[in-house]
């Protein structure tokens, strides 16, 4: 690789990084606006057009906000837990194809940072690291409420990893490959969602539980555990947990789109002339509308939730 290849790779990493940040910003804004509309409120209105920059304003506020560290924490573990929560969410997206290839400076540039032979296993490995961040955050906080939230969350995520893994095995056996690009190519004639629809539904349900989204947000049950495993975190450290959670939501949606809905080879948006860049527009398609789901569905009991995969 010469300097041009390195420059293209760095540019692609930067584009994916900021693209994920913008996706999280829009997702949080959409969730707040839709829930506000369902509750006959206006929601965010002042930061940017229709309040769309409210997430950016909140991020800037949390960045400059004083971080309070309790006296009983295990400081090294307490500080590294938010980093473990955020980094794997970015790394998991490295193997997701989000468009077709183009030619730049005489080189073919694929819209995928790394096409690993173990692509889907890489996504599972990065998702599993999120459990460590939750356990370490709860254990190192020196308080009972974060510890209980961490135990509940880790039990939930481990339980639903089994169902998610089995759903992925069905697709991998059908496509006969672990590489994301080859799985996308195998869907040229028919999407995997048609012959593998039960696996698609199981993956969506398990993905919601893995990302702690409603109605599976038991680790953050405010009425029982204050705020769950990150109760003792504030400022930018809390923002890193928050960012990691929503990044995982985007990653789960992107994986579902890639494995079951044809990835970037799926149908283009109305008016588009080719398949390039359509992946990101469909990432929200394979999951129920998050704001309405958060506002309408009741929270399950822990015993019911952890018994469901069996």
CA angle 206, 246, 174 (to 5 degrees): 40
Q: What is the pLDDT of residues 103-115, one digit of tens each?
A: 777 777 778 888 8
| 3-class SS of residue 144 | helix
Predicted confidence (pLDDT) at residue 1 exceeds the cutoff of 80: no
**Which of 202-211, 244-253, 266-275, 296-305 shows the lowest mean pLDDT across its residues?**
266-275
Per domain, the residue ranges of the chain are 3-307
* In the chain, % of residues over pLDDT 70: 82
DSSP result, 154-202: HHHHHHHHHHHHHHHHHHHHHHT-S-HHHHHHTTSSS-TTTTTHHHHHH
By the 8 A CB rule, do 51 and 33 touch? Answer: yes
pLDDT number for residue 161: 83
CA angle 223, 226, 227 (to 5 degrees): 115
- Residue 276 pLDDT class (50, 70, 90 cuts): very low
């Amino acid at each position: 690789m010469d300097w041009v290849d390195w420059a293209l790779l760095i540019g692609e990493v930067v584009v994916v990084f900021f693209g994920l940040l913008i996706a999280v910003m829009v997702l949080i804004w959409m969730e707040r606006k839709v829930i506000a509309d369902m509750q006959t409120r206006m929601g965010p209105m002042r930061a940017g057009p229709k309040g769309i920059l409210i997430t950016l304003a909140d991020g800037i506020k949390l960045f400059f906000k004083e971080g309070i560290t309790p006296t009983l924490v295990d400081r090294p573990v307490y500080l590294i837990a938010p980093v473990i929560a955020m980094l794997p969410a970015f790394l998991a997206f490295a193997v997701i194809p989000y468009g077709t290839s183009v030619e730049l400076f005489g080189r073919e540039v694929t819209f995928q940072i790394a096409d690993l032979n173990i692509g889907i296993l890489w996504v599972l490995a990065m998702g599993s690291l999120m459990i460590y961040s939750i356990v370490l955050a709860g254990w190192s906080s020196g308080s009972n409420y974060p510890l209980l939230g961490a135990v509940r969350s880790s039990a939930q995520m481990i339980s639903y990893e089994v169902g998610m893994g089995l759903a992925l095995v069905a697709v991998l056996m059908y496509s006969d490959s672990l590489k994301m690009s080859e799985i996308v190519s195998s869907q040229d004639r028919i999407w995997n969602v048609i012959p593998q629809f039960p696996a698609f539904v199981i993956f969506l349900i398990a993905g919601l539980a893995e990302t702690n989204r409603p109605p599976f947000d038991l680790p953050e049950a405010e009425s029982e555990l204050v705020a769950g495993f990150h109760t003792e975190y504030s400022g930018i450290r809390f923002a890193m947990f928050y960012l990691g959670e929503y990044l995982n939501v985007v990653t789960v949606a992107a994986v579902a789109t890639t494995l079951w809905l044809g990835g970037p080879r799926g149908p283009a948006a109305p008016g588009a002339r080719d398949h390039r860049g359509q992946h990101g527009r469909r990432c929200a398609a394979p999951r129920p509308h998050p704001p309405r789901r958060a506002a309408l569905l009741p929270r399950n009991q822990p015993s019911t939730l952890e018994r469901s995969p069996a």
